[in-house]
Amino acid sequence: MPYDASHRADPSAQQLTDTLRHVRAAYARQPAPTARERIDRLDRLHNAVLDYKDRLVAAVEADFGSRPAAETLLMELLPVLQGIAHNRKHVRGWMRPSRRETPLMLAPSTSKVHFQPLGVIGIVVPWNFPLLLSLSPLVSAFTAGNRAMIKTSEYAPQTGAMLQEMLASAFSDEEVVVFTGGVEVATEFTKLPFDHLVFTGSTQVGRVVMRAAAENLTPVTLELGGKSPAIVHPSFPIEEAAARIALGKGLNAGQVCIAPDYLLLPRDQVDAFAEAYEAAVRKHYPTLARNGDYTAIITERQHDRLQGLLSDAAAKGAEVIGINPGNESLEGTCKVPMTLLKQVSDDMQVMQEEIFGPILPLVPYDEFDDAIAYVNARPRPLALYYFDWDRARGEHVLAHTHSGGVAFNDVLSQGVVDDMPFGGVGPSGMGHYHGKEGFLSFSKAKPVIRKGRLDAIAFIAAPWGNRLYKAFMAFQFARFRKKR
């Protein structure tokens, strides 16, 4: 039966399976795309993003209800274009076999590692950055010579439909296929026997995805987030820390997997930070309700969840400081003001769940080592932010904490450098993409040894009492003396 490419919205499990077979068959016909062919795919993606730029921005705006074009351009499309340019520049070098040292007993031989495409990569996209988190893994997949299937988020339906249209305009259904649909589609999608699966989302759902992938022994890259801390050293100017954190926390209204989820700061600087943070927020967002520069929460469900976190915190003794410069009613806007929480405790939901919104709990410490201990007593986060001009103390923090990535004296910035791997550790995820690490994640590093005409090892083969064997082993073990 010929493959039916018409079922891209709400496909059945069988239609998903048929699509994977179709794309995998295309890969089998061309399992080793050249650098030129990979660059051609990157170029087509580059051109498609530019052609659809305005339509993509409008689709994201429609899904969020209110999201500035500047954020979509700055945080989604520009990083994708930068990633394409970086990978295009380096793909030939990354593809080159890596020469390795060959042991003497295999002489004369050469040893090299070849980097082979895996095949078909599955990509499950979240709603918070629906363009970046679909196209950035696709860039890595294409660079490594793979094909892809993408499942977009049901919470960003217009963006998903536009991605579907854009990629279909530039690629055949043998190169990349985009599916929309609800959680049932996502569940069936993650059950497919992909050659690699990329999932971005919550830790809770990540566990479900990993269990599904395990049935097929499908390797996974999981980007899971978690509660990323920021730490301010007593010596760092508190006003500067507040300004930088407010700028990062305000982007996408905090709906960012690497956004700071709580702030550790000296006890005697809590009030000063709160005042400086409020001033910074007022500067960036003098109004909220009709301000197109301030992003809305994606759905009523997410809005209600954030309000529930605030209500729970207030009921358990937290001081809630909502920053609404114009004292406006936000009814019907799905917006949540930038909010600080003082006097938080571990029993509050806001200190247990990933916030994923514009709320920042303030956790005071008395001794600096207490802040490090606080971080280490909790699951390893996707990001850690440390504010301190002293490099030696910074190195101490690096050595004594674990996180997926780190930024000194800033927030979020480590996530936009395409020449560095992006990924979590432990509960915040596994695996990497971006740049060379993305190429490696979606390639099989295949060891290859090539022997010459002379088979030297035959001269020392059994019977093992022969003189050449004894001489060879004596020479070899003479090289490996005990270390003093």
H helices of 73-202, in order, are 78-95, 132-143, 157-170, 183-190
DSSP character string of 218-241: --EEEE----EEEEE-TTS-HHHH
Catalytic one of 61, 71, 188, 257: 257
Q: How far apart are CA 425 and CA 368, in angstroms?
A: 24
Q: Specify the 3-state DSSP secondary structure of 413.
A: helix
What is the Cα gyration radius of the chain?
Answer: 26
The phi, psi pair for 253, rounded to 5°, reads 55, 40
Structure-block tokens of residue 270: 């809590």
35-64 vs 157-170: helix axis angle to the nearest 10?
150
The phi, psi pair for 391, rounded to 5°, reads -70, -35
**CB atoms inside a 10 Å sphere around CB 412:** 24
Structure-block tokens of residue 26: 């295309």
132-143 vs 35-64: helix axis angle to the nearest 10?
170
3-state helix, strand, coil in the chain (%, to 5): 45, 20, 35
Give the dihedral of Cα atoms 151, 155, 160, 162; nearest 10 deg. 180
Left (φ > 0), alpha (ψ -120 to 50) or beta: where does 254 sit? Answer: left
Catalytic residue status for 223: yes
Catalytic one of 223, 278, 353, 354: 223
433: DSSP letter: B
| Inter-residue contact 45 to 169 (CB < 8 Å) | no
DSSP character string of 39-108: HHHHHHHHHHHHHHHHHHHHHHHHHHSS--HHHHIIIIIHHHHHHHHHHHHHHHHHHSPEEE---GGG-S
Cα angle for residues 14, 17, 18 (degrees, 5° grid): 85
For the chain, how many residues are written? Answer: 484
Catalytic residue status for 257: yes
Q: Which residues are catalytic?
A: 223, 257
